[in-house]
Structure 1
């Protein structure tokens, strides 16, 4: 009984509240996408110094998630690692949804989104970007075909045995196939292996090629290195494995019993930890070469990454939250045997790699390719420090109110969790706690938004520039500064596209037969 309770869904009100918040954020974010579509790139802080920003960082992030999930599926269907077979379909489906999300961000970053199709007409086979686009087309075909082969017989059974709209959709997706024989199943498995073998170089080309897009930009020394495409591939594998670890630990796995799911989560956690350690080794290699060689441009970029206005993205998000803490959770025996803690570590790694992508894209562009280039035009770059709309006293008051709202919210959640654990679902205070917690969370989000808009920068924390402090002087001093801070529209539109991708993933998970106990 205790094992069953451990994997129960959260309180219904928390689930509904979470979906409500996600829905609101998605709607607001898609409205920001509409504004960007109508107004153009003028709603961003992109400029001639930093032409790639937040959207490009999210693009390479989701392409990495996709390629990593796909390559993990090849371990099952090409190399015969049967233990992971129950998550094979989910890995392929995650690869598809992450790819769609990545392409959303590519589209919104284009100056003229309506002209995306011209790349298929005006060809340049010497362009890495041109080659990469054709990899994407092949990649989509391979993923869709593999998914169809894996689900074909289940789709036929769904169309024959169920009723209503789900049976209708399953009937469409069978593409007219009705063969449930063992011979046809064997044929599907053979084609799966062929497509998996064919898909390995394509998936490597998809994300290794994304790394190559940066590596061939010769004017950016921080990118222009032979390890860069390899870093992209390894971090893709780490992020894909971490995503599947998190999903399996908390949301999927209905076809497995508790022991099987626990075993899979712990196995994926160990794979993720190994890949993450290798990824950190490669990143250290990239950084150390520039530092030891005292390459001025590399040192300037590293100074901005480690001690610039967004130092916390590197030290707190990428290193502490996204690497050290999750590795501790996975490798420490006490937490490493708890599938929930390992799943939480997977989520932390998935979030932490966002920091990796931000630090790849933006800081390298902030160092002018020619000294004085940033002052050569009369048109100034987009400002990174805007005039505060609120006084310091008002901002300080808002900060205290945010802390109070956060403490109340956490306290209410803790109280509700205690009541749930004790089985006191009819406690007279429960309804009041739910109402109070919902109100506190609403005001917390509202206050954070007001504080964000009223602060001197887009993120508030970015005012803590360490480049001219003693700790920032470890790498020497310079007048380098950040020429780009994402606007509110860039953040909201990003959240809208991420929310839309999540809803597409949940819809597909509800409709398609993605759960299987094969391999056990």
Structure 2
């Protein structure tokens, strides 16, 4: 029996669940390859971006957030954050790669896209810059991880700083992929690039809190005092990020409903009172922001366990933020007199195949990170 599974039945169960999730994803991917996108996806010409695009955004946002949080330690010299560096960077790489895989399943010919992106680049395309910047970001993350694993701190600092800049650039450009679409008023404008960076910080902090908590919970050893102090500091930062995010969401809504701007108003109302209202009020607002803020602002509940629960709820809510953002921007038809409308809006419900691929992508992220946690020397003490 592999040492990973020895004396730990819970590990067997965890790996078994993740393996099942990966198998579900593989079945979904094979269904796409055999039957084609048009037959197994519920996206249409009117709503071409569905849950796979939302999952891609969620995963790369998580990757960026992990990079930004890890940079607080070995780039900006905040000692409390140094121990999380390797874990955050390796998970940033994994989530980025799984994000690439998810969007690859959305694209009919991803290999052809990659070839033409190199031999016939369109420098005025935000999507071309997205692929280029995230490719550079992946290279820098890989180099940074190498230097961290070797204990070469100067190299890790240099590539960490470069990776920090690349992360900000790539992620703000991802916001521009949506924000530059003048034909989609719900997305159009300068708000999304900034909003994406802020939400990346929330995602990164939330995931780091779960990494630290479950790492010590699984080991069966008490959490050292310095890690408890770290969780307290991280909880305060998360409370700050979430509070700012709440105000961002409020001021995103106000201009969209004041004066009833065409199409933007209808798309916003779809999230407030329409088909996405439950997602917005329950998952985004209640689970994703309000409950975590209450937990984190109260010193009695800002324990390591409380910070972890706040992070878990935030991560869950942020996934629905991505889904609602992507879908809401397309619910208002661009064709006058469209017949397939419900209460004046288009509709989209993910297919079973799309959901299977999402489950597979997230399961693969967790599976690969769990393997890395058990097979690689990720503790700072092992550098010395």
- What TM-score, normalized to structure 1? 0.68
Which of 130, 133, 138 is the matching residue for 2:131?
Answer: 133
The answer to whether the 8 Å contact 1:78/1:197 transfers is yes
The residue number in structure 2 matching 1:145 is 143
Is 1:351 equivalent to 2:316 in the alignment?
A: yes
What CA distance in whole angstroms lies between the structure 2 residues aligned with 1:252 and 1:213?
39
What CA distance in whole angstroms lies between the structure 2 residues aligned with 1:199 and 1:287?
33
SS in 2 for 1:248: helix
Question: How far is the alpha carbon of 1:232 from its aligned partner?
Answer: 0.4
Q: Which runs of 5 or more residues in structure 2 are unaligned?
A: 1-6
What CA distance in whole angstroms lies between the structure 2 residues aligned with 1:24 and 1:479?
39
The residue number in structure 2 matching 1:360 is 325
What CA distance in whole angstroms lies between the structure 2 residues aligned with 1:195 and 1:30?
34
Aligned pairs for 1:295-310 (under 5 A) are 295-310=261-276
Tell me: CA distance 1:517–1:313, structure 2 relative to 1, closer, same or farther (3 Å): farther
What CA distance in whole angstroms lies between the structure 1 residues aligned with 2:174 and 2:68?
16
Is 1:286 equivalent to 2:284 in the alignment?
A: no
Aligned pairs for 1:108-127 (under 5 A) are 108-118=105-115, 119-127=117-125
Question: How far is the alpha carbon of 1:484 from its aligned partner?
Answer: 1.1
What CA distance in whole angstroms lies between the structure 1 residues aligned with 2:172 and 2:8?
42
Tell me: CA distance 1:15–1:310, structure 2 relative to 1, closer, same or farther (3 Å): farther
Which of 38, 44, 49 is the matching residue for 1:47?
Answer: 44
What CA distance in whole angstroms lies between the structure 2 residues aligned with 1:107 and 1:210?
16
Question: How far is the alpha carbon of 1:244 from its aligned partner?
Answer: 0.3
What CA distance in whole angstroms lies between the structure 2 residues aligned with 1:71 and 1:293?
37
The residue number in structure 2 matching 1:30 is 26
The residue number in structure 2 matching 1:432 is none
CA RMSD of aligned residues (A): 2.2
Superposed CA deviations along residues 204-257 of structure 1, whole A, max 9, x for unmatched, are: 112111110000111011111111100000001110111001111122597995
Aligned pairs for 1:98-497 (under 5 A) are 98-118=95-115, 119-153=117-151, 188-252=152-216, 257-336=223-302, 338-372=303-337, 374-375=338-339, 479-497=343-361
The residue number in structure 2 matching 1:81 is 78
SS in 2 for 1:334: coil
Stretch moving more, 217-226 or 277-286: 277-286
What CA distance in whole angstroms lies between the structure 2 residues aligned with 1:504 and 1:19?
10
The answer to whether the 8 Å contact 1:309/1:482 transfers is no
SS in 1 for 2:380: coil
Question: How far is the alpha carbon of 1:316 from its aligned partner?
Answer: 0.8
Moved over 3 A (4+): 11-19, 252-257
Question: How far is the alpha carbon of 1:294 from its aligned partner?
Answer: 1.9
SS in 1 for 2:189: coil
Question: How far is the alpha carbon of 1:491 from its aligned partner?
Answer: 0.5
SS in 1 for 2:344: coil
The answer to whether the 8 Å contact 1:256/1:517 transfers is no
What CA distance in whole angstroms lies between the structure 2 residues aligned with 1:502 and 1:17?
13
Question: How far is the alpha carbon of 1:518 from its aligned partner?
Answer: 9.2
Tell me: CA distance 1:108–1:511, structure 2 relative to 1, closer, same or farther (3 Å): same
Which of 374, 378, 384 is the matching residue for 1:514?
Answer: 378
SS in 1 for 2:239: helix
What CA distance in whole angstroms lies between the structure 1 residues aligned with 2:97 and 2:239?
27
What CA distance in whole angstroms lies between the structure 1 residues aligned with 2:62 and 2:283?
18
Larger gyration radius, structure 1 or structure 2: 1
Q: Which runs of 5 or more residues in structure 1 are unaligned?
A: 1-10, 154-187, 382-477
Is 1:57 equivalent to 2:54 in the alignment?
A: yes
